[in-house]
Chains A and B, each alone.
Chain A
Amino acid sequence: MKSLADLAALRAKCQAEIAAREKGKTLVIIGMGTCGIAAGAREVQKALEEELAAHNVDNVIIKQTGCIGMCEQEVLVDIARFGEARVTYGKVKPEHVKALVEEHIINGRVVPELVVGRFPDANQDKGFGDVPKYSDIEFCKKQQHLVLEHCGVIDPDSLEEYVALGGYEGLAKALTAMKPEEVIDQVKKSGLRGRGGGGFPTGMKWQFCRNSVADQKYVICNADEGDPGAFMDRSVMEGDPHRMVEGMAIGGYAMGATEGYIYARAEYPLAIKRLRAAIAAAEQAGFLGENIFGSGFNFHLQVKEGAGAFVCGEETALMQSIEGKRGMPRPRPPFPAVSGLWGKPSNINNVETFANVAMIIVKGADWYAGMGTEGSKGTKVFALTGKIKHTGLAEVEMGTTIREIIFEVGGGIANDKKFKAVQIGGPSGGCLPESMLDLPVDYDSLIKAGAMMGSGGLVVMDETTCMVDVARFFLTFTQSESCGKCTPCREGTKRMLEILNRIIDGKGREGDIELLEDLAGVIKDTALCGLGQTAPNPVLATLRYFRDEYEAHIKEHRCPAGACSALTKFVISDRCKGCGLCKRNCPVQAISGEPGKQHMIDTTKCIKCGACMANCPFKAIDRE
């Protein structure tokens, strides 16, 4: 790959070859991200192949793609007959395959029970007029796919498809038409801020690293994605790995680094596999390696697998881990831009941050800065999980309100329950109640409200979730992940956890809330790294918005959500018909009663597992 003209020629060649290969064929595209596979995509593929063979249909090409973000609809299968609209089907099981083949593939008729929508490509208006367009579907209406542009669209293992859609044009433009300073300038002007949590301006960080003089510098991608409940980085790596390679190579050029590392968590084997394949393909094609685009710039990239430590998402700990040591944070300064990996100037950015870079270079900083709010530009990908109707990934313009994300994109609360709170920003973040839902997503306004953007995980909770339990859940997590280097975090979080445990066990004391607040303040002020400094946030945020729940636990020994088992008991009401199902399902024989008569639970034996309640056909068992 020696020039822009080479890339243009390659692109034309890829497009022509794809068109020739797919001419006259029906395309069947199966979502093969981790979610898709977990929902049974491989079984669906097998069934499809068998069904096609049984019908002697041979003009079909089966392709894989990454995750388009509709996790709730997995397994997703798209069918596009030649020259006709591409129709997406959801919740496909092997038993549905017969209908898809006979109706859609052979006869060109839609299968209405499974249909999701008409995919937005050039053929969108060719037939299937009664199927809603993507842009008319509730989940997609408010979304804007920039970072996720190719996820669920292309085959992630195909460099050909990436290039055919304009891939590597950002790298080509940067290397052949821009000086490194101009690249940094564009990134600065775009207003891009780090998507890994802190929201630090990316261009400024690149400038610091560029300014450091050294014989060797490193570009590192933080793909540790430790926030449980967030999976946007996984989706980008699995669905569009070349975007990462391109973004990092541009960063390397801008900062004068010739070596790059992607530090990916080991729990993401598929992402690691696809990244390694993408790197090998990019090297082969000349997008990585020596003298890229004839510019004299060399860049090599490798994937490092994590080994299961949340604290390794912290940048100094991450570099220790790459060096093969215990991943413990160290004080800053010196900042990584001055002394990082192996003591050399290094720059660390998050997956989603790098995924934004190429389009800024191609389309320009002004275009990018035209989206979003005053202080937060572009889009952000959120992972919608918990008690929400449409779980999945939602990429929306910065400034969209949380209410729009949850109630429009996400479709509101599942099972007709009432919304109670949303946890935003993972274990470092906080929860927001109903009254804060009109907050626009923007780094600064979220901090003001006691939460933070974090990685973009949105875990939705309904009225049956106890907020004290949520706080305890996060603190248990941070406590067990504390590296133990500094006392406030190691010991302080343990003390806070003890207090939360006793409150939940109904043994809370007068003054416990104040003690929690005291400890939280000290830990925030004195812990060494971000893990400790933010560990109290979930407690502080729940105290800020749900203090009454804490008080009910402490003063009345009552859990208002009915979730804390030490504070609730199961009782059988007079709706009981004496069918005996509960008695048979109770694992500890705590239920007694004559057939046909109201049964009773012995509260001294009951372990509050809920088996009786789940099995009662008359809903006669109450939790109080």
Chain B
Amino acid sequence: MAKVTGAVDKIDYAELDAILAKYAGKQGVLIPVMQDVQNLYNYLPKAALEYVSEKLGIPLAEIYGVVTFYSLFHLNPRGKYISRCCQGTACHVRGGASILNALEAQLGIKPGETTMDGRFTLETVACLGACGLAPVMQIDEDTHGRMTPEKVAKVLAEYN
């Protein structure tokens, strides 16, 4: 599956149907369905939420309530790569803030923002579970440990 960047203007309803079919007849499916939709588009497009709302018979307001509650759901398009900088306790006492500063400076954006060229979205996270290698950052599913501000540019350069 090609990775979607930027906003989607056309929703493929057959793909959404395929997701919904996976969970047909099961209880408590809203969150897993949203996770799959987000995996598809990299964010949750409004048209997709409307479609899911109709198909599952869950009011759109309730769906918004749920997706805005959880920090891993995103209502706006995101970059090709998601870089997450850990600000958990173990990383904090080992200079996690300086890694975030370096990321902000390198990318020219603040947490929650996406670079102009759509390459990177910067996010913070409370712990990646690799505290023994603090400070830690992650790009998509690759975790990078023992970070230093100088290493940030090198790591970013691996992703085009």
Whether a CB of chain B sits under 8 angstroms from the CB of A457 is yes
Q: Report if A385-B126 is in contact (Cβ < 8 Å); known contacts: A309-B69, A327-B69, A459-B90.
A: no
Contact B69 A231 (CB under 8 A): no
Contact B93 A459 (CB under 8 A): yes
Main secondary structure of the interface of A (DSSP, over half): mixed
- Which of the segments B5-13, B14-22, B24-32, B112-120 contacts the partner chain? B24-32
Contact B89 A385 (CB under 8 A): yes
Contact A231 B130 (CB under 8 A): yes
- List A contacts of B71 (CB < 8 A): 307-309
- List A contacts of B125 (CB < 8 A): 267
Interface string of A216-238 (1 = CB under 8 A from B): 00000000011111110010000
Residue ID in chain B nearest A614 by CB atoms: B149
Residue ID in chain B nearest A268 by CB atoms: B129
Determine how close the nearest CB of chain B comes to the CB of A273; give it in whole angstroms: 10
Determine how close the nearest CB of chain A comes to the CB of B155; give it in whole angstroms: 11
- List A contacts of B31 (CB < 8 A): 304-305, 307, 321, 324
Contact A391 B93 (CB under 8 A): no
Whether a CB of chain B sits under 8 angstroms from the CB of A326 is yes
Contact A267 B128 (CB under 8 A): yes
- List B contacts of A327 (CB < 8 A): 69-70
Determine how close the nearest CB of chain A comes to the CB of B134; give it in whole angstroms: 6
- List A contacts of B28 (CB < 8 A): 322-324
Q: Report if A387-B131 is in contact (Cβ < 8 Å); known contacts: A226-B126, A323-B27, A326-B66.
A: no
Q: Report if A461-B146 is in contact (Cβ < 8 Å); known contacts: A74-B133, A228-B127, A322-B28.
A: no
- List B contacts of A290 (CB < 8 A): none
Give B50-70 interface residues, CB cut-off 8 Å to A. Answer: 65-66, 69-70
Complex CA–CA separation, A72 to B130 (angstroms): 11
Complex CA–CA separation, A473 to B91 (angstroms): 12
Give B75-116 interface residues, CB cut-off 8 Å to A. Answer: 86-94, 101
- List B contacts of A386 (CB < 8 A): 89-90, 93-94, 134
Contact A308 B88 (CB under 8 A): no
Contact A266 B93 (CB under 8 A): no
Q: Report if A387-B93 is in contact (Cβ < 8 Å); known contacts: A309-B69, A323-B27, A324-B66.
A: yes
Complex CA–CA separation, A35 to B125 (angstroms): 17
Complex CA–CA separation, A477 to B143 (angstroms): 22
Contact A231 B132 (CB under 8 A): yes
Give A248-285 interface residues, CB cut-off 8 Å to B. Answer: 266-269
Residue ID in chain A nearest B89 by CB atoms: A229
Determine how close the nearest CB of chain B comes to the CB of A69; give it in whole angstroms: 9
Whether a CB of chain A sits under 8 angstroms from the CB of B122 is no
Contact B133 A307 (CB under 8 A): no
Contact A34 B128 (CB under 8 A): yes
- List B contacts of A241 (CB < 8 A): none
Q: Report if A38-B145 is in contact (Cβ < 8 Å); known contacts: A72-B132, A342-B27.
A: yes
Q: Report if A229-B128 is in contact (Cβ < 8 Å); known contacts: A325-B66, A386-B94.
A: no
Contact B132 A228 (CB under 8 A): no
Cβ contact of A326, chosen from B69, B132, B141, B145, cutoff 8 A: B69
Whether a CB of chain A sits under 8 angstroms from the CB of B157 is no
Whether a CB of chain A sits under 8 angstroms from the CB of B136 is yes
Q: Report if A383-B131 is in contact (Cβ < 8 Å); known contacts: A38-B143, A229-B90.
A: yes
Whether a CB of chain B sits under 8 angstroms from the CB of A346 is no
- List A contacts of B141 (CB < 8 A): 269
Complex CA–CA separation, A459 to B125 (angstroms): 18
Q: Report if A38-B126 is in contact (Cβ < 8 Å); known contacts: A269-B141, A426-B89.
A: no
Whether a CB of chain B sits under 8 angstroms from the CB of A392 is yes
Residue ID in chain A nearest B88 by CB atoms: A228
Cβ contact of A37, chosen from B92, B94, B143, cutoff 8 A: B143
Residue ID in chain A nearest B90 by CB atoms: A385
Complex CA–CA separation, A268 to B35 (angstroms): 15
Contact B35 A465 (CB under 8 A): no
- List B contacts of A423 (CB < 8 A): 89
Contact B35 A305 (CB under 8 A): yes
Q: Report if A231-B89 is in contact (Cβ < 8 Å); known contacts: A307-B73, A385-B134.
A: no
Contact A308 B93 (CB under 8 A): no
Whether a CB of chain B sits under 8 angstroms from the CB of A543 is no
Determine how close the nearest CB of chain A comes to the CB of B74; give it in whole angstroms: 11
Contact B89 A309 (CB under 8 A): no
Complex CA–CA separation, A384 to B94 (angstroms): 13
User: What are 22 A-B contacts defined by CB distance under 8 Å?
Assistant: A34-B128, A35-B130, A39-B133, A228-B88, A228-B89, A229-B88, A230-B127, A231-B127, A231-B131, A234-B129, A267-B128, A268-B129, A307-B72, A307-B73, A308-B71, A308-B73, A309-B69, A384-B132, A386-B89, A459-B90, A465-B93, A473-B89
Contacts A34-B143, A384-B132, A385-B131 supplied; 8 other A-B pairs, CB < 8 Å: A71-B130, A228-B86, A229-B90, A306-B72, A307-B72, A386-B93, A393-B132, A461-B93
| Interface, chain B (partner A; CB < 8 A) | 27-32, 34-35, 65-66, 69-73, 86-94, 101, 125-134, 136, 141-146
